[in-house]
């Protein structure tokens, strides 16, 4: 099958992929985001654009994707099921495909309680699993969820999902991944990996089930910018594990930011050694400028160029 995107090409051909992440602003002025995108363009294969992350109103993922396309860069549009019913989700997907988006990351989304509109309705018409399957059915069968046919077939799409080895029940997590694959997932990005031991234990089971051969597993890596940021993730973000040793290590370092970068680089290097890990997704939100350095120091630069 022909690859739908550069990201898929990279992963399908067995290159260790690198993607970046862009968080749209709480305004329509996306000039800073464009700078970040421009500055890491030689270091990442595609960019995730978050969809009202942590339920905070921001410029839409699809709106930003249009700009990225104009810049000649490759977006991966995140789509949560939190804010849109199946009518809006399917319609927005078509809209994004119409101007060239091919990578989609289907996810549930944080509860609206955490955001800046805590009084809003949580839609959750579909769940993430059903949304993945719906995208696959639109692409492969040419049908909407309701059963009606699309007027024209869709081009190839690259369907992504998320996996969280740090959430519970831990024993179930590999099976949840298997279910996402059955629903149509072609690549998964994981929650930020700080607890490598737990990640490796998850991967053991993933390999045992043969899942790494059925899906591209991309490890999530976030450089820790400060002790405060680490503590915040440790205490306030559900489904995230930040081991105390990591915080102690940064505390003990003279240059704390450098230490954060060093840990990210080491994490990537360890991930590269793990059988079944196909790439990394670097999420340096509010610290985008360090992405090129991390990618270079991890030995992933220059990026292979695939025709």
List interacting residues with another protein (CB under 8 A). 82, 86, 108-111, 113, 122, 124-130, 133-134, 145, 162-164, 166-169, 172, 175-176, 179, 182-183, 191, 238-239
Specify the residue, 103 or 164, whose C-beta has the smaller distance to another protein. Answer: 164
Residue closer to another protein (CB basis): 217 or 300:
217
Strand segments (E) across 38-111:
46-49, 75-80, 103-107
**Residue 52 exposure: Cα atoms within 13 Å on the Cβ side:** 21
Question: Residue written as tokens 């410029």?
Answer: 59
* Rounded-to-integer distance, Cα 138 and Cα 160, Å: 15
**201 vs 297, which CB is nearer to another protein?**
201
Beta bridge partners of 106: 79, 161
Q: What are phi and psi of 52, to 5 degrees?
A: 45, 55
Question: What's the closest the beta carbon of residue 214 comes to another protein, in angstroms?
Answer: 15
For 75, phi and psi rounded to 5 degrees? -90, 150
**How many CB atoms neighbour CB 87 within 10 A?**
12
Quote the least distance from Cβ 172 to another protein, whole Å: 6
- For another protein, the closer CB: 34 or 179: 179
Complex with another protein: residue 136 or 272, whichever CB lies closer = 136
> What sign results for the dihedral spanned by CA atoms 235, 241, 244, 249?
negative
**Minimum Å distance from CB 134 to another protein?**
7
For the CB of residue 182, give the shortest distance to another protein in the complex, in Å. 6
* Min separation Cβ 129 and another protein, Å: 4
Q: How many CA atoms lie within 13 A of 87 on its CB side?
A: 0
Opening angle at CA 33, ends 28 and 37, nearest 5: 145
- When the beta carbons of 8 and 189 are compared against another protein, the nearer one is 189
Helices (H) and strands (E) in the chain, counts: 11, 8
Q: How far is the CB of 122 from another protein (least distance, A)?
A: 7
């Amino acid at each position: 099958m022909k690859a739908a995107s550069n990201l898929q090409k990279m992963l399908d051909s067995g290159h260790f992929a690198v993607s970046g992440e862009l968080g749209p602003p709480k305004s329509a002025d996306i000039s800073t985001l464009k700078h970040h995108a421009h500055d890491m363009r030689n270091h990442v294969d595609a960019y995730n654009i978050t969809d009202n992350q942590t339920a905070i109103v921001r410029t839409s993922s699809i709106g930003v994707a249009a700009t990225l396309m104009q810049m000649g860069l490759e977006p991966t549009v995140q789509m949560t099921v939190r804010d849109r019913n199946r009518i809006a989700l399917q319609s927005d997907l078509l809209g994004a495909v119409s101007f060239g988006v091919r990578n989609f990351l289907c996810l549930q989304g944080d509860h609206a309680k955490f955001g800046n509109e805590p009084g809003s309705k949580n839609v959750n018409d579909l769940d993430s699993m059903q949304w993945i399957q719906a995208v696959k059915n639109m692409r492969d069968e040419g049908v909407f969820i309701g059963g009606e046919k699309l007027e024209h077939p869709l081009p190839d799409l690259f369907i992504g999902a998320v996996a969280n080895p740090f959430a519970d029940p831990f024993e179930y997590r590999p099976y949840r991944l298997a279910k996402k694959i059955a629903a149509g997932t072609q690549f998964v990005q994981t929650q930020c990996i700080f607890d490598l031991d737990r990640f490796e234990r998850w991967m053991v089971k993933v390999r045992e089930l043969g899942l790494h051969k059925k899906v591209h597993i991309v490890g999530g890596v976030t450089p820790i910018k400060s002790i405060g940021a680490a503590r915040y993730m440790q205490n306030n973000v559900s489904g995230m594990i930040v081991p105390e040793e990591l915080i102690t290590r940064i505390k003990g370092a003279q240059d704390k930011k450098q230490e954060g970068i060093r840990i990210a680089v080491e994490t990537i290097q360890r991930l590269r050694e793990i059988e079944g890990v196909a790439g990394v997704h670097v999420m340096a939100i509010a610290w985008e400028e360090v992405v090129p350095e991390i990618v270079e120091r991890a030995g992933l630069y220059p990026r292979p160029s695939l025709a």
